Amino acid sequence: MKRAVTSRVGYLRGVPKIDPDGAVVIVTGGARGIGAETAKLFASKGAIVWIGDLDENIAKDTATTIPNAVARRLDVTDRASWALFLDELIAEHGRIDVLVNNAGVMPVGPFVDEPEATTDLMLDVNVRGMLNGMHAVLPLMAKAGRGHVVNVSSMAGMIPLPGMVTYNTSKYAALGGSLAARREYDGTGVTVSAIMPAAVRTELSSGADLSVLPTVDPEDVARQVLRTLTTRAAKTSAPTWVLPGWGLVEAFVPETVERAVRKLIGHDQAMALDPVGRKDYLDRIERHADQNASTGGRAATTSAKAAK
């Protein structure tokens, strides 16, 4: 693994700066929501953006509204699909500067009622998809001596909530994988950051009452993703105060008190879904879960599981 020559002070010593103007950026799950807003923001700063998503037609529609953006079908759960995606990108641009691992799914509700296919889909997309993305780009970045990976985890990667057992599991894993890869690639010129949004106003949370958490818009999360190019912080929440706030709760609030407060504010809201408001999203997730199950948990061809 190539080690970069050090030139700056502290953790960022030896980490080359990445200017978004002219940077080659991959955004998975970029057809909608956080991914689309992230692609739009990077492009507005002059970046060349490649969107990878299951819903190729929607992704291409999104790309047509963004200067210097293209969209391709990408199965984040399949390494062969990543290889095809990157082969085309490298042939055209010769490098990857930034990967935003945004693809994710969030079915919520009572754990006992969760079909096995839904469990598999969440773990395959939210965990395997993120790992596959890092596995594909980190060696290329390390060889070049520069690069940045942003994994979109969630405050659900730190705050456990009823009705989100598998989702919590996947986002805890996403955070752990981010922190471990960050350390493994110390000194190579490559950095890894985790973004941890609270409740985001996207289709992902449609019909699920998560008002127990602070809410943000996709644009707010996109700004935090872009900001990591400067800070290279290990963890950043959106809103930014949530992460340090939860750290204080964990450090100083006894579990008995925390339980009482949780009950008071109704922390089990994810258990009660609005079937009408969430129907379109759940129908799409069911189709993806069936497809995922039919291919043994991972697609053998290029089709993406990705849409935050």
Burial pattern 277-298, b for ≥16 Cβ within 10 A else e, equals ebeebbeebeebbebbbebeeb
Q: Is the dihedral of CA 165, 167, 170, 172 positive or negative?
A: negative
Q: Catalytic residue, from 11, 167, 185, 281: name it.
A: 167
**Element (H or E) spanning 223, and its range?**
helix 218-231
Query: Residue 20 in contact with residue 46, Cβ under 8 Å?
Result: yes
Alpha helix (H) residue ranges in 75-185: 79-93, 116-123, 129-144, 165-184
The 10 Å Cβ neighbour count of residue 91 is 8
| 167 is annotated as an active-site residue | yes
Query: Residue 102 in contact with residue 34, Cβ under 8 Å?
Result: yes
Active site residues: 167
